[in-house]
Chains A and B, each alone.
Chain A
Amino acid sequence: MSEEIENNETVYSVSDITGILKQLIESTPQLNGVWVKGEISNLTYHSSGHIYFSLKDEGAVIQAVFFKHANKHLDFKLEEGMSVVVFGGVTVFEKRGSYQFIVYKIRKEGLGELLQKIEKLKEKLYKEGLFAPERKKPLPVLPKRIGVVTSPTGAAIRDIIKVAMRRFPNIEIILAPAKVQGEGAVASIVTGIQELNNPRWDVDVIIAGRGGGSFEDLMAFNEEAVVRAFASSRVPIISAVGHQIDHPLSDLAADVAAPTPSAAAEIAVPVKADLMAAINNYAMRVSRRLSLICESFANRIALITQRRVFQNPMSLVENFELTLSDTENRLQSLMQKRITEIKERVSRIKDLELMIKNRLQNYWHIYMMQASKLEHLSPVSVLKRGYSITLKDSQVVSSIQKIQTGDSVRVVVYDGSIQCDVQSVSEEVSFGKKG
């Protein structure tokens, strides 16, 4: 077994080992953030402000350091042999190869009972549901008037006024003065919270608390009556008790817990300039957006108006006018044409008349000619020219065959007739002198 270990050749440096030890110790929960009871010995108030001592009991001793930044709130003087309860954790000081207890807080022994009492009350009120999350009221975003319950002469009210006015210059603050420690503190704080809950003060949020102090100084904020007053506040309430390690029970009962009065003022009061900037930002976004929208519509309108119709609205009428005059022209020429046509036809009718007249004249002429021809053809006109007709027994004699000597005949001439007796018949035709 020991052979095996010795055979492991890994070699650590002192720093390595100390580092491992330091990490081990400092990450052990039981060695950090704990309360340790003991007696003070080898006490040294160093010029640097740090306090060094040993904490011991019958069986052991541990070196302890109470640094300046942690001991500045210490409200009593440490003494050799004093029984105390310290809060803090164990750390390793590598350079000296030692471990020591870093102290954050010291209480005189006997406070343990008080702590137990607080713990019991806490449990009781917890079971009652006084600290339940669903009981918490939201704080107003923009409180007009802040109610404060604290001492009028303490640091708390100064800090709250300073911070609140810096953040919101026209804030209204109404202070319910209260004793925050010692005799009468509990009743004073309870009265203050109750008074500010009276609607006549028109308070939007309440800050109740005090600046930092010793455990005993803050005791009032662990008292049942005060804790209940916080829990039953109608107005949203902020617990503002300056504390280092232990939360007072008022923190659990309040709607919001702030580590200091200044912090409470910061929580309660908005920065006016920020709100104004936010409003302006939204308003600007709204306006800018609208002007963009309007611009785009204006552009569209501009595009439309650039069209020819809007640029030269007369063009609309001009078109109609053109069409109109065109139609007019067409109509006129059509009419003209028609009129000419009709005229032509009318003139043609005149020709017809003339034609008919001519025709009639022609016919008349023809008629007259025929009539005169007819005249020529009539026997009368033949007789007039010297011819005559010989009749025998009312029969026209056209040959000698029908005639014998001694026959009586009638000779018809133009203007009468001659009764004759035939003396001879000859075949000879002669109109001259014979024989």
Chain B
Amino acid sequence: MEKKAKKINFEDALEELEAIASKLESGELTLEQSLQYYERGVELAKFCRQKLEEAERKIEVLQKQPDGTVGKRSVKVKEDTGEIEDDEDIQGSLL
């Protein structure tokens, strides 16, 4: 089950979690099945929460390097306005 959870994406996991909630609420399961679904549900909820925390909150700008390749640079932003504030100039284009 652990392996399976790693393969599925957030969307599928969330969908399955909802299905499990509905299934458990249908009350048609044996105790053993309920326990299995519960375990899977807890696992999926954990997986989904992890997924939500996976991104690292960063704003990056692609910039053309002197050697002609494209690199990225982290920049600071003003949270209230969304304005990029960086000491260095930012290229206006990758051309």
Specify whether A and B are partners. Answer: yes
Which of chain A's residues has its CB closest to B37's CB?
A286
* Set B10, B70, B83, B90: member contacting A195, Cβ < 8 A: B70
CA distance A142 to B45 in the complex (A): 15
A161–B95 Cα gap in the complex (Å)? 23
- Nearest B residue to A144, CB-CB: B55
Q: Is A234 an interface residue (CB 8 A)?
A: no
Interface residues on A, range: 35 or more
Question: Are the CB atoms of B11 and A283 closer together than 8 Å?
Answer: no
**What is the CA–CA distance of A289 and B47 in the complex, to the nearest angstrom?**
20
Tell me the minimal C-beta distance from B30 to chain A in angstroms: 10
Q: Which residues in chain A, 125-165, are within 8 Å of chain B measured between CB atoms?
A: 140-142, 144-145, 151-153, 157-163, 165
Closest CB-CB distance, A300 to chain B, in whole Å?
A: 10
Minimal beta-carbon separation of B17 from chain A (angstroms): 5
For the complex formed, measure the closest distance between the CB of B13 and the CB atoms of chain A, giving whole angstroms.
Answer: 9
Contacting chain B: which of A19-27, A87-95, A171-179? A171-179
Is the CB–CB distance between A286 and B82 below 8 Å? no
Judge whether B81 and A162 touch: CB under 8 Å: yes
B18 contacts which of A172, A195, A282 (Cβ < 8 Å)? A282
Among B10, B37, B41, contact of A142 (Cβ-Cβ < 8 Å): B10
CB–CB A285/B62 < 8 A: no
Q: Within residues 59 to 95 of chain B, which ones have a CB less than 8 A from any CB in chain A?
A: 59-63, 70, 72, 77, 79-84, 90-95
> Is the CB–CB distance between A282 and B45 below 8 Å?
yes
Question: With a CB–CB cut-off of 8 A, which chain A residues contact B42?
Answer: 283, 286-287
Tell me if A177 and B21 are in contact (CB < 8 A). Answer: no
Given A174-B72, A286-B41, A279 and B24 touching (CB < 8 A)?
Answer: no
Out of B21, B37, B63, B84, which one reaches A161, CB within 8 Å?
A: B84
Cross-chain contact of A191 among B20, B79, B83, B94 (Cβ < 8 A): B94
Interface centre among A168, A173, A191, A201 (most CB of B within 10 A): A173
Partner pick for A162 among B72, B82, B95, CB 8 A cutoff: B82
Interchain CB contact under 8 A, B45 and A158: no
Q: Do A195 and B62 have beta carbons less than 8 Å apart?
A: yes
Please tell me if A278 contacts chain B, counting CB pairs below 8 Å.
Answer: yes
Does B11 contact A278, Cβ atoms closer than 8 Å?
Answer: no
Q: Is the CB of B92 within 8 A of A201?
A: no
Whether a CB of chain B sits under 8 angstroms from the CB of A243 is no
